[in-house]
């Protein structure tokens, strides 16, 4: 008579232990899922910040290329003007004036006497 009572009590203890283990397992799974969701949110925010930073760098690189192109054009213009200045200085030192052509009379209507 004691034997069936002990068996039923042992089955109850085993069932209770399995239920506690199941609740603990599902609880840890829920905690893990919530924690992963927070990590995904944090990583998404970091990714968005990195994309914005990358776009700013791309824009800055485009602006830098424009500035470099303008600088190159300015340097070419400076070289041409420097060459022109040197040529003009050479002419002034040779002739003593800036004019290379003989003076021409001013154009205009001739006066009638």
Residue 48 has pLDDT above 90, yes or no: yes
Contact 100, 91 (CB under 8 A): yes
Please name the helix (run of DSSP H) or strand (run of DSSP E) that holds residue 58, with its range, or none: helix 2-95
At 85, list the tokens.
């200045």
- The per-residue pLDDT of the chain, averaged, comes to 85
Cβ atoms of 97 and 87 within 8 Å: the answer is: no
What is the C-alpha to C-alpha distance for residues 95 and 110, in angstroms, rounded to an integer? 32
What percent of the chain has pLDDT above 70? 81
DSSP symbol at 99: -
Tens of pLDDT, residues 53-90: 999 999 999 899 999 999 999 999 999 999 999 998 88
- Average of per-residue pLDDT across 98-105: 57
């Amino acid at each position: 008579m004691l034997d069936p009572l002990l068996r039923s009590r042992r089955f109850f203890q085993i069932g209770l232990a399995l239920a506690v283990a199941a609740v603990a397992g599902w609880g840890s799974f829920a905690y893990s899922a919530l924690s992963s969701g927070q990590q995904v949110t944090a990583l998404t925010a970091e990714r968005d910040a990195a994309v914005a930073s990358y776009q700013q760098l791309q824009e800055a690189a485009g602006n830098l290329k424009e500035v470099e192109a303008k600088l190159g054009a300015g340097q070419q213009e400076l070289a041409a003007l420097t060459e022109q200045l040197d040529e003009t200085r050479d002419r002034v030192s040779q002739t003593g004036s800036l004019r290379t052509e003989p003076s021409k009379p001013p154009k205009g209507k001739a006066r009638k006497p």
